[in-house]
């Protein structure tokens, strides 16, 4: 235990100010050679309104100060390359180095999206290979790689459902969302112009099928469901749910955020899903965090194919690949270019490097989550006691008796050298601890995590103040999150 603590305490000795605060007049990063042509008055050349005398408040620093500043900040980061990152629902798995090697290959890294199609056949072949792989893995019929995040994929999916239903005469009014859903699901439905109606979970944490049955009518456009759901529990009645929806002309949307529990084992297309998105930055090991770049491909069944975002990648009669832009029923274009190409290359590299081994990765992800479940169930409350899939959700009910909540435990975990798990989500579990180890962790690393969590549970009972005031070994102690949200300071200004 002492070891993990000292690891987390690295770099504490170096303070770091903002570049603005390091600035001093006249310092600069480089010296330009003297002009060897006559000087031009910018105001005269461009017009006075386009010229200014300088930028107020722009930091003036030397090159080594800039390098040290950003290098120091980079060492304060916590990353999967430093240790376990059990952030539930985010699938923070290892990003294999082969992905990076392939994405940096000359001929891939240097391609330009406005290059003519004839000169881009290799890149298009990569996109096509990824499309075919994802279709095989999901059991769906057609796909777009265009969306650049899970949320954009969701929006594209629901927009397609709307376009499909409208083409049949009535776009309908409501989208059903289980009470365990990711917050993006209702947000997507509202953005696409639908009302949201919550579906209850039953005592096993699954969709209450009876409540679903009575909620589906001719005004319902779709059910948005994550499978396995955010409790890490497989929706075993998913095929029945699909039947109930289809019987009333509604569609089944699957949020593929938790595809890491299914990849290579079960195919959403086989259990009745009409549209789904995947997060390549989760399941397919592309870089994650820091806001992207993400990739949220959307796969559909045949009946939704005409509505895919344009353009669509197609094989031409002569065997070459090209773009089909003549898509009269398409929901339109989502962004300037077709997906984040470099991210898509990495996902294909991952798929090809693993090959059939992806099944084993999926099984290991489920095994690791269940290992943690069994190793912690005697000290943390399990609101749903059955075996889980790729993630496990505990609650802080036992620690609450000592005044310690899930956020306190998460902060204390930082002292033990781990990234916190996801706190307070899903909302149907009060005080949730949502833990997703992924397949990347060895048993030794899982044991270290379990040991840390058990130590914190003991501290919560014996010395709750220690946990409530954590983190103690991080650079900065407990932040005032409430103050930051109520009175956000979004811009630095000189005092």
60 lies in the site for another protein, by CB under 8 A: no
Residues 343-382: x where in contact with another protein by CB under 8 A, - otherwise, as a string: --------------------------------------x-
Q: What DSSP assignment string belongs to 281-342? A: HHHT----STT------EEE-GGGGGGSPSSEEEE-TTS-EEEE---TT----SSSSSS-HH
Angle at 195 between CA 163 and CA 332, to 5 degrees: 25
Binding residue (CB under 8 A) for another protein from 82, 397, 455, 466: 397
Least distance between another protein and beta carbon 400 (Å): 6
Least distance between another protein and beta carbon 486 (Å): 5
- Element housing 222 (H / E): strand 220-226
Measured distance CA(404)–CA(397) in Å, rounded: 9
Least distance between another protein and beta carbon 423 (Å): 8
249 lies in the site for another protein, by CB under 8 A: no
Least distance between another protein and beta carbon 431 (Å): 8
Measured distance CA(396)–CA(373) in Å, rounded: 14
Shorter beta-carbon distance to another protein: residue 165 or 397? 397
Q: How many CB atoms lie within 10 A of CB 185?
A: 24
- How many residues contact another protein, by CB under 8 A? 13
Q: How many CB atoms lie within 10 A of CB 283?
A: 28
* From 41-49, 94-102, 331-339, 480-488, span contacting another protein (CB under 8 A): 480-488
336 lies in the site for another protein, by CB under 8 A: no
In sequence order, what are the beta bridge partners of 275?
253, 300
Answer whether 141's CB lies under 8 Å from 135's CB: yes
Closest C-alpha to 61, from 24, 94, 32, 90? 24
Least distance between another protein and beta carbon 436 (Å): 19
- Element housing 396 (H / E): none
Six-digit token string for 355? 């090959």
427 lies in the site for another protein, by CB under 8 A: yes
400 lies in the site for another protein, by CB under 8 A: yes
Binding residue (CB under 8 A) for another protein from 486, 490, 491, 493: 486
In sequence order, what are the beta bridge partners of 66?
none
* From 152-160, 246-254, 386-394, 422-430, span contacting another protein (CB under 8 A): 422-430
Least distance between another protein and beta carbon 482 (Å): 4
* From 46-54, 84-92, 120-128, 394-402, span contacting another protein (CB under 8 A): 394-402
Checking 241-247 for CB contacts under 8 A at 24+ apart, the result is 241/207, 241/209, 241/212, 241/272, 242/271, 242/272, 242/273, 243/272, 244/209, 244/212, 244/213, 244/216, 245/216, 245/220, 246/272, 247/216
Shorter beta-carbon distance to another protein: residue 109 or 427? 427
Shorter beta-carbon distance to another protein: residue 204 or 320? 204
Alpha-carbon separation of residue 416 from 6, 413, 474 (angstroms):
9, 5, 10
Binding residue (CB under 8 A) for another protein from 482, 491, 493, 494: 482
Answer whether 316's CB lies under 8 Å from 197's CB: no
Shorter beta-carbon distance to another protein: residue 11 or 401? 401
Shorter beta-carbon distance to another protein: residue 30 or 485? 485
* From 62-70, 159-167, 174-182, 481-489, span contacting another protein (CB under 8 A): 481-489
Which value, in Å, is the radius of gyration of the alpha carbons in the chain? 26
485 lies in the site for another protein, by CB under 8 A: yes
Shorter beta-carbon distance to another protein: residue 360 or 385? 385
Binding residue (CB under 8 A) for another protein from 383, 455, 466, 475: 383
Measured distance CA(474)–CA(324) in Å, rounded: 53
Least distance between another protein and beta carbon 360 (Å): 36
17 lies in the site for another protein, by CB under 8 A: no
Residues 165-204: x where in contact with another protein by CB under 8 A, - otherwise, as a string: ------------------x---------------------
Answer whether 276's CB lies under 8 Å from 298's CB: yes
* From 133-141, 243-251, 385-393, 424-432, span contacting another protein (CB under 8 A): 424-432
Shorter beta-carbon distance to another protein: residue 29 or 430? 430
HSE-CB of 389 using CA atoms within 13 angstroms: 25
329 lies in the site for another protein, by CB under 8 A: no
481 lies in the site for another protein, by CB under 8 A: yes
Measured distance CA(226)–CA(91) in Å, rounded: 14
Six-digit token string for 180? 């365990």
Measured distance CA(342)–CA(121) in Å, rounded: 16
In sequence order, what are the beta bridge partners of 177?
198
* From 152-160, 261-269, 392-400, 466-474, span contacting another protein (CB under 8 A): 392-400
395 lies in the site for another protein, by CB under 8 A: yes
476 lies in the site for another protein, by CB under 8 A: no
Query: Which residues contribute to the site for another protein (CB under 8 A)?
Result: 183, 381, 383, 395, 397, 400, 424, 427, 430, 481-482, 485-486
């Amino acid at each position: 235990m002492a070891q993990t603590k000292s690891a987390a305490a690295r770099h504490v000795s170096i303070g770091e100010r903002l570049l603005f605060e390091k600035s001093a007049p006249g310092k600069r990063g480089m010296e330009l050679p003297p002009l060897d042509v006559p000087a031009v008055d910018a105001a005269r050349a461009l017009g006075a309104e386009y010229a200014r005398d300088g930028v107020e408040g722009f930091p003036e620093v030397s090159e080594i100060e800039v390098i040290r500043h950003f290098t120091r900040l980079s060492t304060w980061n916590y990353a999967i390359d430093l240790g376990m990152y059990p952030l539930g629902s985010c699938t923070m798995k290892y990003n294999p180095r082969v992905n990076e090697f392939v994405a940096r290959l000359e001929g891939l890294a240097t391609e330009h999206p406005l290059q003519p199609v004839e000169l881009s056949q290799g890149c298009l072949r990569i996109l096509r290979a990824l499309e075919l792989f994802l279709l095989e893995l999901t059991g769906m019929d057609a796909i777009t790689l265009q969306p650049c995040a899970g949320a954009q994929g969701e929006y594209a999916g629901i927009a397609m459902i709307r376009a499909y239903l409208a083409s049949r005469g009535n776009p309908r009014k409501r989208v059903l969302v289980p009470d365990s859903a990711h917050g993006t699901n209702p947000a997507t439905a509202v953005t696409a112009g639908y009302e949201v109606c919550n579906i209850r979970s039953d005592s096993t944490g699954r969709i209450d099928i009876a409540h679903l049955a009575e909620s589906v009518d001719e005004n319902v456009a779709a059910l948005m469901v994550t499978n396995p759901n955010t409790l890490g529990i497989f929706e075993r009645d998913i095929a029945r749910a699909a039947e109930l929806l289809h019987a009333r002309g509604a569609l089944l949307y699957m949020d593929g955020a938790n595809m890491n529990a299914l990849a290579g084992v079960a195919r959403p297309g086989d259990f009745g899903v009409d549209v789904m998105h995947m997060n390549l930055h989760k399941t397919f090991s592309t870089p994650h965090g820091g806001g992207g770049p993400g990739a949220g491909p959307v796969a559909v069944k045949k009946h939704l194919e005409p509505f895919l975002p344009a353009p669509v990648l197609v094989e031409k009669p002569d065997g070459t690949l090209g773009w089909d832009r003549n898509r009269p029923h398409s929901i339109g274009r989502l962004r300037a270019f077709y997906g984040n190409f470099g991210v898509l290359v990495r996902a294909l590299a991952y798929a090809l490097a693993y090959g059939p081994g992806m099944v084993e990765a999926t099984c290991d992800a489920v095994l690791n989550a269940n290992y943690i479940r069994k190793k912690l169930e005697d000290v943390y409350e399990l609101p749903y006691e059955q075996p889980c899939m790729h993630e496990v959700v505990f609650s802080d009910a036992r620690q609450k008796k000592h005044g310690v909540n899930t956020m306190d435990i998460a902060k204390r975990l930082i002292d033990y050298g781990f990234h916190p798990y996801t706190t307070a989500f899903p909302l149907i579990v009060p005080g949730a601890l949502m833990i997703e180890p992924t397949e990347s962790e060895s048993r030794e690393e899982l044991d270290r995590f379990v040991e840390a969590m058990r130590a914190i549970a003991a501290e919560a009972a014996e010395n709750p103040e220690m946990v409530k005031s954590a983190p103690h070994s991080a650079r900065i102690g407990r932040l005032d999150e409430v103050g930051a949200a109520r009175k956000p300071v979004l811009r630095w200004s000189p005092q």
